[in-house]
């Protein structure tokens, strides 16, 4: 985290800065450091506070770290996977190094290339740089948003941190809710960049850098997945396969660099199995793989993971979890999350991270495979929706009426749930339909669930402005690839990666994502969508390529993912918690939501009139977060 001010009266007591830094101890329990620049006529007071999870150069990688003459100071969370090659290049240009760490490479790369240095990095990172010669602060975030970076201006001071917790620890930061961001959360189940739940804090956009000077703040984007003239759009299919395999192999190899024990998250699906297959080929001996199972067979994938481990010859670790293991985490979710995010799979992700951390400090996962290769069932559903609107659009009101008559089931992704979700997206453009399907509250219901006081802030155009912004920057005319791009920029970056980062870092575990290597992303996003979704076959080209390395049953296995029985929990073990946190008295006192409508949502679900699992979970997370952080309107 960092703090800057040009006013002597705003310089806080050292205890405040230390307290802000220590809120991030879970992200870095191994070491602590700080850099202090005193206020003078030449520049501002600057404080960098760092908590380190030691992965590379355990002895010499202490942060903050500077160049030879102390004119460039760096604070950094993440990994630069190509740091060794960059170090050789910089040494040939005359730079001299005193450590083996990737942090020092950042300092010298900035010296050499300025803000262009971020284009040279292959990695996941949130970086802060103080440039003494230019009297400027530079913040940067990796291309896909793997590592978080928040910032805020408070009465002329500037704060930044890897989590909002550190910013909230500053006594002058006002925890004032942004009404529109609350509505964004209700719509998406997350709050998209650059917004946060607070009016006075922002997230730095992925693939961007920020420059702070006394004149103000500028933010610049430095990358797009479409920079390489659309990848292999005109290549023969066999050559595309080979290129994907080589890029994935290189990506996995880069992410195996570590001075501490390392393993693989293995679910038994094609994405994590592909990572494990390439990792096993790259290491001597057996790579460690990790999975968790559940007592309920409808949610358990452990047999698939064990099968893949046996086939590849990995050293496999597995733990069976009970429903109580998941339920026990629910009250502590606000401590893991620093702003509301309603993806319930954070619960098993946290359990997997906690289990894995008992054996290793770094894990590779399969995140990004579904977005790159069109693995979600929604991609095929969009094709059906377009046909439905063409041929059955006039009958939609009647069909929707009949769909709502389907009996409610509490099963995970039940038939009635899928039918009703599909019908709810009809009539919207692809981008908005995608968010309606993935999110909790559609437009009409947001106006009902928020309090009358907040309803005045409802603005549908602003609510979906991030969708519009990404659609405007999309250079192709391929609708399936458009939805993939939106998933990459919204669902992946703002939900999946946030979930994995917070769950893993709460356990002091670093998780790396080989599918999100920017070279692989650029190539695959440029491919025709027909190579990813071919007919009814999702991930077509990835499956075809991986048949050489994985069993047929793994390659053809349908996507499952971490399921969480929310619908049953509302009526069972969490019934009292829902009743307490969503009670009319509490809701009215807080002033954010419409107490009568919230009560109706809960009662309809309990009486089996309507499946409100997604809405109720989204509201529960909001109320848990509200109770923990006590914001104001």
CATH number of this structure's domain 2-221, picked from the four choices 3.40.1190.20, 3.50.50.60, 3.40.50.2300, 3.60.20.10: 3.60.20.10
H runs (alpha helix) in 125-199? 164-168, 179-188
Name the residue among 253, 252, 258, 256 with its Cα closest to residue 54. Answer: 258
Spatial contact of 523 and 231, defined as CB atoms under 8 Å apart: yes
Tell me the fold of 237-374+497-555: Rossmann fold (3.40.50)
Give the integer Cα–Cα distance in Å for 291 and 70: 45
pLDDT, residue 532, reads 97
Encode pLDDT of 34-43 as tens digits.
Answer: 999 999 989 9
Beta pairing, strands 362-364 & 510-512:
parallel
Spatial contact of 262 and 252, defined as CB atoms under 8 Å apart: no
Spatial contact of 92 and 135, defined as CB atoms under 8 Å apart: no
Judged against a pLDDT cut of 70, whether residue 561 lies above it is answered with: no
Question: What region does 312 belong to: left with phi over 0, alpha with psi -120 to 50, or beta?
Answer: alpha
Walk across the sheet containing 157-161 and list its strands: 31-37, 45-52, 2-5, 157-161, 150-154, 201-203
Taking residues 215-239, report their average pLDDT. Answer: 86
Provide the 8-state DSSP code for 10: G
The most confident of 23-27, 151-155, 297-301, 451-455, by mean pLDDT: 23-27
Q: What is the DSSP string of 288-319?
A: EEEEEEESSTTT--HHHHHHHHHHHT-EEEEE
pLDDT category of residue 228 using cuts at 50, 70 and 90: low
Spatial contact of 281 and 550, defined as CB atoms under 8 Å apart: no
pLDDT, residue 229, reads 59
Secondary structure class of 496 (helix, strand, coil): helix
pLDDT category of residue 354 using cuts at 50, 70 and 90: very high
Spatial contact of 593 and 451, defined as CB atoms under 8 Å apart: yes
Judged against a pLDDT cut of 70, whether residue 515 lies above it is answered with: yes
b/e code 174-191 from CB counts within 10 Å (16+ = b): ebebbbbbbbbbbbbbbb
Judged against a pLDDT cut of 60, whether residue 230 lies above it is answered with: no
Question: What region does 94 belong to: left with phi over 0, alpha with psi -120 to 50, or beta?
Answer: left
Encode pLDDT of 318-332 as tens digits.
Answer: 999 888 999 999 999
Whether the CA torsion 470, 78, 289, 330 is positive or negative: it is negative
Angle at 471 between CA 469 and CA 472, to 5 degrees: 65
Name the residue among 222, 95, 161, 240 with its Cα closest to residue 541. Answer: 240
Secondary structure class of 502 (helix, strand, coil): helix
Please count the other Cβ atoms lying within 10 Å of the Cβ belonging to residue 116.
Answer: 12
* Domain layout of the chain by residue ranges: 2-221, 237-374+497-555, 565-633
3-state secondary structure 388-438: HHHHHHHHHHHHHHHHHCCCCCCCCCCHHHHHHHHHHCCCCCHHHHHHHHH
Encode pLDDT of 370-421 as tens digits.
Answer: 999 999 999 999 999 999 999 999 999 999 999 888 888 887 778 888 999 9
Report residue 25 as tokens: 């101890």
**Domain 237-374+497-555 in the same topology as domain 2-221:** no
Provide the 8-state DSSP code for 608: T
Spatial contact of 23 and 163, defined as CB atoms under 8 Å apart: yes
Encode pLDDT of 127-158 as tens digits.
Answer: 999 999 999 999 999 999 999 999 999 888 99
pLDDT, residue 302, reads 84
Q: Which helix (H) or strand (E) holds 301?
A: none
H runs (alpha helix) in 317-414? 323-327, 333-336, 346-357, 369-373, 377-392, 396-404
Give the integer Cα–Cα distance in Å for 633 and 283: 54
Name the residue among 612, 609, 597 with its Cα closest to residue 567. Answer: 612
Give the integer Cα–Cα distance in Å for 355 and 357: 6
pLDDT category of residue 294 using cuts at 50, 70 and 90: confident
Report residue 102 as tokens: 């990737």
pLDDT, residue 416, reads 87
* Percent of the chain with pLDDT strictly greater than 90: 89
Report residue 485 as tokens: 């791009």
Give the integer Cα–Cα distance in Å for 425 and 417: 13
- Range in 10-24, 290-304, 339-353, 468-482 the model is least confident about: 290-304
Question: What region does 486 belong to: left with phi over 0, alpha with psi -120 to 50, or beta?
Answer: alpha
pLDDT, residue 414, reads 81
3-state secondary structure 550-597: CCHHHHCCCCCCCCCCHHHHHHCCCHHHHHHHCCHHHHHHHCCECHHH
Taking residues 528-545, report their average pLDDT. Answer: 96
pLDDT, residue 295, reads 78
Whole-model pTM: value is 0.96
Encode pLDDT of 55-104 as tens digits.
Answer: 988 888 899 999 999 999 999 999 999 999 999 999 999 999 999 999 99
pLDDT, residue 156, reads 84
Judged against a pLDDT cut of 90, whether residue 564 lies above it is answered with: no
- At residue 243, φ and ψ (nearest 5 deg) are -65, -40
Distances (CA, A) of 523 to 190, 364, 573: 28, 21, 47
Average of per-residue pLDDT values in the chain: 94
Chain-centroid distance, C-alpha 181? 17
Name the residue among 526, 502, 496 with its Cα closest to residue 271. Answer: 496
Residues 6+ apart with CB under 8 A from 429: none
Distances (CA, A) of 183 to 168, 189, 455, 458, 496: 21, 9, 9, 8, 20
pLDDT category of residue 243 using cuts at 50, 70 and 90: very high
pLDDT category of residue 227 using cuts at 50, 70 and 90: confident
Q: Would you mind telling me the total number of residues written for the chain in this entry?
A: 633
Q: Which helix (H) or strand (E) holds 448?
A: helix 443-449
Angle at 512 between CA 22 and CA 196, to 5 degrees: 55
Encode pLDDT of 567-598 as tens digits.
Answer: 999 999 999 999 999 999 999 999 999 999 99
Name the residue among 189, 200, 229 with its Cα closest to residue 526. Answer: 229
Report residue 486 as tokens: 């939106």
């Amino acid at each position: 985290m960092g703090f800057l001010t040009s006013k002597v009266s705003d310089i806080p007591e050292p205890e405040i800065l230390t307290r802000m830094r220590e809120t991030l101890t879970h992200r870095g329990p191994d070491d602590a450091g700080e850099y202090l620049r005193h206020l003078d006529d030449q520049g501002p007071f600057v404080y960098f506070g760092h908590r380190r999870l030691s992965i590379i150069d355990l002895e010499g990688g202490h942060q903050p770290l500077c160049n030879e003459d102390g004119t460039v100071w760096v604070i950094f969370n993440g990994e630069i996977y190509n740091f060794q090659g960059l170090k050789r290049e910089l040494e040939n240009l005359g730079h001299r190094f005193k450590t083996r760490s990737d942090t020092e490479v950042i300092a010298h790369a900035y010296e050499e290339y300025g803000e262009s240095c971020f284009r040279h990095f292959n990695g996941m990172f949130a970086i802060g740089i103080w440039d003494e010669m230019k009297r400027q602060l530079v913040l940067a975030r990796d291309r896909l948003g793997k590592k978080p970076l928040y910032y805020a201006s408070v009465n002329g001071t500037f704060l930044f941190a890897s989590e909002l917790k550190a910013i909230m620890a500053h006594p002058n930061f006002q925890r004032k809710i942004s009404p529109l961001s609350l509505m964004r959360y209700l719509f998406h189940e997350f709050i998209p960049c650059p917004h946060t739940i607070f009016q006075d804090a922002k997230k730095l956009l992925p693939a961007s850098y920020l420059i702070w000077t006394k004149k103000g703040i500028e933010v610049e984007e430095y990358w797009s997945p479409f920079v390489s003239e659309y990848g292999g759009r005109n290549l023969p299919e066999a050559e595309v396969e080979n290129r994907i395999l080589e890029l994935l192999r290189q990506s996995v190899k880069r992410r195996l660099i570590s001075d501490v024990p390392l393993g693989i998250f293995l679910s038994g699906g094609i994405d994590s199995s592909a990572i494990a297959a390439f990792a096993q080929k790259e290491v001597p001996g057996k790579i460690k793989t990790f999975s968790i199972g559940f007592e309920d067979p409808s949610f358990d994938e452990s047999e698939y993971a064990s099968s893949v481990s046996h086939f590849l010859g990995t050293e496999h670790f597995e733990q069976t979890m009970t429903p109580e293991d998941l339920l026990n985490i629910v009250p502590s979710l606000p401590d893991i999350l620093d702003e509301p995010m309603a993806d319930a799979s954070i619960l098993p992700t946290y359990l997997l991270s906690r289990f894995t951390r008992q054996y290793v400090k770094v894990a590779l996962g399969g995140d990004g495979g579904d977005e790159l290769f069109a693995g979600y069932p929604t991609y095929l559903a969009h094709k059906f929706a377009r046909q439905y609107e063409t041929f059955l659009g006039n009958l939609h009101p009647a069909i929707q009426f009949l769909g709502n008559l389907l009996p409610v089931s509490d099963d995970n992704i039940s038939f009635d749930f899928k039918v009703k979700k599909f019908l709810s997206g009809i009539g919207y453009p692809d981008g908005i339909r995608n968010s309606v399907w993935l999110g909790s509250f559609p437009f009409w219901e947001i106006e009902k669930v928020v309090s009358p006081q907040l309803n005045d802030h409802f603005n549908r155009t602003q609510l979906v402005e991030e969708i519009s912004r990404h659609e405007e920057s999309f250079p192709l005319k391929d609708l399936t690839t458009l939805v993939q791009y939106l998933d990459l920029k919204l669902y992946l970056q703002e939900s999946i990666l946030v979930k994995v980062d917070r769950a893993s870092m709460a356990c002091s575990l670093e998780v790396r994502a080989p599918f999100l290597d920017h070279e692989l992303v650029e190539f695959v996003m440029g491919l025709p969508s027909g190579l990813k979704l071919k007919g009814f076959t999702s991930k077509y080209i990835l499956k075809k390529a991986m048949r050489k390395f994985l069993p047929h049953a793994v390659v053809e296995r349908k996507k499952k993912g971490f399921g969480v029985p929310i619908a049953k929990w509302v009526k069972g073990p969490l019934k009292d918690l829902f009743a307490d946190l969503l009670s009319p008295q509490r809701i009215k006192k807080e002033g954010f939501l419409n107490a009568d409508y919230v009560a109706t949502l809960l009662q309809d679900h309990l009486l089996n009139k309507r499946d409100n699992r997604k809405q109720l979970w989204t509201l529960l997370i909001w109320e848990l977060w509200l109770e923990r952080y006590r914001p104001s309107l």
